[in-house]
Amino acid sequence: MHDLKTIRENAADFDAALARRGVEPVAANLLALDEENRSIATKLQEGQARRNEASKAIGKAKGQGDEETAQALMAEVSELKTSLPQLEEQQRVVSGKLRDALAALPNVPNADVPEGADEDDNVEVERWGTPRSFDFKPLEHSDIGPPLGLEFETAAAMSGARFAFLRGQMARLQRAIGQYMLDQQTTVNGFQECAPPVLVRDEAMFGTGQLPKFSEDSFQTTNGHWLIPTAEVSLTNSVSGQILDEAQLPIRLTALTPCFRSEAGSAGKDTKGLIRQHQFEKVEMVAIVHPDHSDAEHLRMTEAAESILKALELPYRKMLLCTGDMGATARKTYDLEVWLPGQDTYREISSVSTCGDYQARRMNARFRPEGETKGTQFLHTLNGSGLAVGRTLVAVLENYQQEDGSVIIPEALKSYMGGIEKLEPAN
C-alpha cells in the first residue's frame, strides 16, 4: 500500500517510479478520489456537529417557550438524520474505490533496480562455485529420481499433474534437506524458528499482497480460508495491527512449511519434474526491521540463503531482478539461481526481497521509536527463501549424480541421513 501524503507531495515522482514497472500514470486519479473522500468527510463532520448542536438547542428553545425556533430546529435535525447516512454511504463507496485503487498498485522500485521487461533484463551480480565436469552425459532429476524413489505416476493417480510422491531414501533426503536448512537458519543465521498456520484468512493474504490481485495463484478452501503460497504470509502477519517498541527490532523469523500454489499463470511451464509443483516445502525467512536498517538486512538475508548453497557445494549465481521481473510487493529483489547440469542452465532456488513499508501499511504494522511517547512509524518487512526444499533436492540429484544412477549425499547432509551416504537405484 502507498502513502497518500507522499503521493500528494510528489505526484509526478510517484508516476515516474511506477512507470518503470510499466504502470500508466495513476496519481491524478488517486488524488481526485482522495479529494472527493476528504470533501465528503468534511461535510459529514460538519453535519454531525450541526446535528448535535441543533439537538441541544431544541431543548433550550422549548425551555424558553420559543416553539417556532424549536420546530425549525427539529426539522433541521430530521433532515440531517436523512442526509448524513447518505453522506456516510458516499464516503464508504469513495473510500472503497480509493483503497482498491491503491491496493492494486505494485510497490515502487528502488532507484538502483535496473529497468527491464522480463527475466532477460535481470543483471548478474556474481557467481559462486564451478560447475562439475562429467565424464558422462548428466541426466535431469526427473530421469534420475524414479529409480531412487521419486514417483510422479503415483502422485498423478491420486492428485493429478504437478504433484510428487517420495518414497524411502528419497523421502529421507527431502526431510534431511529441510531439517538442515532450518537448523542453519536458526543456529547459525539468527532466525527464530516458528510453526505457523498454513490456512489463513483474507486479511492475512491482503496484508502481504497476494490479495486482491493474485487470488488465482492460490488455493482457497470451501470455508474461505487460503492455503499459504509461502510461510511469508503467516510469518509477516504475526505483527499485523501491532505497535512494537523499537527495542523489539529486528525480528527475524523462519519456518519450514508446506506451500501451495495453483500456478495459474504458468500453464505449460515446467510441467515435468519438481521445479513447479502445486504442493512443495520451503524454509522461509522473514525480517521485520527499522526502516533505517532494511537495506543492510536485505544483504544479510541474501547471504543467509547463499550460505546453504555454499555448504551444499552447489554452484549458483546471484541476479538483481529488473523492474519487470520483480514481485509486486518488492522494492528490490535478489534471485539465487542454482546450476542444474541435467538442464545445462541456472534455475531459481531462492528469491530475497525487501518490501519497504508496503506490506506494513497494508497490515497497519508500526513501531514506536525510542524516546517517543505518541508518534509511530511503519515497519519495514523483508522475505526470502532459505531455501526451496524441492528445488534443492533437484540440485542435489543433478549435481551429485553418478554414472551408475546413484547419487552421493553432500557432506553437510550426511549426519541427517542416518548413515546413508549414497542413494542407490532399486533393484
Tens digits of residue pLDDT in 221-247: 999 999 999 999 999 999 999 999 999
Q: Is the pLDDT of residue 87 over 70?
A: yes
Catalytic residue among 351, 362, 385, 398: 351
Question: Residue 424 is placed in which grid cell?
Answer: 542407490
Give the integer Cα–Cα distance in Å for 171 and 98.
49
* Residue 61's pLDDT band (cuts 50, 70, 90): confident
Per-residue model confidence (pLDDT) at position 222 = 96
Task: Give the per-residue pLDDT at 347.
Answer: 97
Q: Catalytic: 175?
A: no
Confidence of residue 267 (pLDDT cuts 50, 70, 90): low
Residue owning grid cell 460538519: 46
| 113-128 pLDDT tens trace | 999 999 999 999 999 9
Q: What is the pLDDT of residue 58?
A: 85
Q: Which of 234, 252, 391, 398 is catalytic?
A: 391
Which one has a higher pLDDT value, 76 or 289?
Answer: 289
CA angle 135–172–233, rounded 5-degree value: 105
Asked whether 401 and 144 are in contact (CB, 8 A), the reply is yes
Q: Please give the average per-residue pLDDT across 85-94, as a whole number.
A: 94
- pLDDT digits 0-9 by tens, 329-379: 999 999 999 999 999 999 999 999 999 999 999 999 999 999 877 899 999
Looking at the predicted structure, is the pLDDT value of residue 272 above 90?
Answer: no
Q: Which of 151, 313, 348, 424 is catalytic?
A: 348
Using DSSP, state whether 219 is helix, strand or coil. coil
Annotated catalytic residue, options 261, 300, 331, 362? 261
Query: Is the pLDDT score of 56 beyond 90?
Result: no
Report residue 54's pLDDT band, with 50, 70 and 90 as the boundaries. confident
DSSP string for residues in 268-282: TSS-SSSSS-SEEEE
Sheet of 251-260, strand order: 123-128, 316-320, 332-340, 345-354, 380-388, 279-289, 251-260, 192-193
Q: How distant, in Å, are the alpha carbons of 168, 174, 185, 302, 414 from that of 417?
A: 11, 10, 19, 27, 5
pLDDT given at position 230: 97
List 276, 317, 347, 368, catalytic entry: 276
What is the pLDDT of the chain when averaged over all its residues?
A: 95
C-alpha Rg value of the chain to the nearest Å: 28
Is the pLDDT at 427 greater than 80? The verdict is: no
Rounded to whole angstroms, the Cα distance separating 156 from 142 reads 14
- Is 294 assigned a catalytic role? no
Is the model's pLDDT at 103 over the cut of 70? yes
300 in active site: no
Residue 408: enclosing H or E segment and its boundaries? strand 407-408
Among 413, 364, 114, 379, residue whose Cα is nearest residue 240 = 364
Confidence at residue 266, expressed as pLDDT on a 0 to 100 scale: 65
Whole-number pLDDT of residue 189: 98
pLDDT of residue 113: 98
Band (pLDDT 50/70/90 cuts) for residue 265 is low
Q: Which of the four pLDDT bands, split at 50, 70 and 90, describes residue 53?
A: confident
Alpha-helical regions (H) of 256-382: 294-311, 358-363
Handedness of CA 363, 253, 357, 125 (dihedral sign): negative
Residue 59's CB is within 10 A of a number of other CB atoms, namely: 11
Give the C-alpha separation, 316 to 308, whole Å: 11
Mean pLDDT of 314-329: 98
Per the annotation, the verdict on 385 as an active-site residue is no
**What number is the average pLDDT over the span 199-212?**
96
pLDDT > 70 in the chain, percent: 99
Tell me whether residue 127 is one of the annotated catalytic residues. no
